[in-house]
Amino acid sequence: MSKPTLIIGILFVALLALGVINITQNYQTGNELDYYALKETTEAAMTDAVDIGYYRMYGLIRIDKEKFAESFLRRFAATVGNTRTYDIEFRDLNETPPKVSVLVNSQTAATVDNEGLKITNQIDAILESKYMDNKLVRDMTRNGELDYTNIE
């Protein structure tokens, strides 16, 4: 082989390797960013969706499904960029005990046979409290009924 053909072959292999490295890096970085965005957004949305009135009345933590979904979508949209297509699926939303299961699919810019490379992340989250007794409810209970006259 002549030297110019060898140099062209080496350049072609180098460009091919750089393309594969770029696609792999895009996929791995996107997966990591999607996971942490999903995790942080789910945690914040669950905290936003806690029903304070229910907690004051019964001493149990409960989330509002609609408020969680709204807060999650708003926060997730603000977190991610517009370089990918996202598909969000709420698999399970439990109000009491507060448990959510969220699946996020995103597609990278790279395609193989007109099929995008799909990144899938799923998170299952349960909101817990370290408090076994609600002091406010205990202090306000009179004869099995809540007495709001002593609220300060």
pLDDT tens for each residue of 118-141: 888 899 999 887 766 666 666 666
User: Which residues share a beta bridge with 102?
Assistant: 90, 123
What's the pLDDT tens digit per position in 74-113?
A: 999 998 877 778 899 999 999 888 999 999 988 766 666 6
Which two structure tokens, joined as six digits, stand for 42? 């789910």
Name the residue range of residue 16's domain: 3-150
3-state helix, strand, coil in the chain (%, to 5): 50, 30, 20
Q: Which pTM value belongs to this model?
A: 0.68
Copy the structure tokens of residue 127: 């909101």
Dihedral pair phi/psi, residue 21, rounded to 5°: -65, -40
Span 17-58, pLDDT tens digits:
888 777 666 666 667 788 899 999 999 999 999 988 887 777
pLDDT at 65: 92
Beta bridge partners of residue 93, listed in sequence order: 100
- The number of folded domains in the chain is 1
Q: What is the distance between the alpha carbons of residues 56 and 58, in angstroms, rounded to a whole number? A: 6
